Amino acid sequence: MYPLTWLHPGQPDEPFPHLDRALTEPNGLLAAGGDLSLERLLRAYREGIFPWYEAGQPILWWSPDPRTVLVPSEVHVSRSLKKTLRSGRFRFSIDEAFSHVIRGCAEPRGGVHGTWITYGMQQAFVRMHEAGHAHSVEVWEDGTLVGGLYGVSMGRMFYGESMFSRVSDASKVALVMLCRHLERWGYPLIDAQTPSAHLTRMGARSMPRREFRRCLDHLCELSPHGARWSVEPDLF
Per-residue model confidence as pLDDT tens digits over 14-53:
999 999 999 999 999 999 999 999 999 999 999 999 999 9
Domain hosting residue 29, numbered range: 5-65
- Taking residues 159-168, report their average pLDDT: 96
Confidence of residue 226 (pLDDT cuts 50, 70, 90): confident
Q: Which of 162, 66, 173 is nearest to 122 (CA)?
A: 162
Kindly state whether residue 98 falls inside one of the protein's structural domains: yes
**Would you say residue 233 lies in a domain?**
no
∠ CA 172-195-211, nearest 5°, is: 115
Domain contains 236: no
Say whether both 48 and 101 belong to one domain.
Answer: no
Q: What percent of the chain has pLDDT over 70?
A: 96
The total of structural domains in the chain comes to: 2
Residue 231 located in a structural domain: no
| pLDDT attached to residue 9 | 95
CA 118 to chain centre: 15
Whole-prediction pTM value?
A: 0.95
